[in-house]
Structure 1
């Protein structure tokens, strides 16, 4: 069995990406971390793709879906306005 077909490799990647998100905030790595975590869970529960290319496509789709879900969840609500009360120079 190849290394990319192991569930713990994907979970380790998810942990590394989540750590990068904490160090470099901005919801950039979080979508990839969720995608890698979901891919690890899929492999753990027996849903296994044959070949690296198909696994990367599934990972990319899971990452995209998680990014779109986070964008919808963390967005400003309709009619809500961001108000700045302090200046960075104060």
Structure 2
């Protein structure tokens, strides 16, 4: 049943990637990467055993993708920067 649904995961990932263009901030891009990777694993027959396992794989891959994006692109400029040392005291 799940073996034929790999293209739905890929399509969902592409929709989420398109949504990222409308709402920037790397929020939907992690989910998009997770969905596309999950679709690839389902197509290969690795993660398509049952729905619960597939959703767990999607959640893990989305979290890893979001963490990788955060690592590569860093903190957004609008985030608060905490200064722990006063440069005027040197």
TM over 0.5: yes
Q: How far apart are the structure 2 equivalents of 1:40 and 1:68? A: 20
Structure 1 unmatched ranges of 5 or more: 77-90
Query: Could you tell me which residue of structure 2 aligns to residue 13 of structure 1?
Result: 12
Runs of 4+ aligned structure 1 residues displaced above 2 Å come to: none
Q: Which structure shows the bigger proportion of residues in helix conformation?
A: 2
How does the TM-score come out when normalised to structure 2? 0.76
Query: Could you tell me which residue of structure 2 aligns to residue 80 of structure 1?
Result: none
How does the TM-score come out when normalised to structure 1? 0.76
Secondary structure at 1:62's aligned position in 2? Answer: helix
The structure with the largest alpha-carbon Rg is: 2
Query: Could you tell me which residue of structure 2 aligns to residue 33 of structure 1?
Result: 32
Query: Could you tell me which residue of structure 1 aligns to residue 41 of structure 2?
Result: 42
What's the RMSD between the two structures over aligned residues?
Answer: 1.7
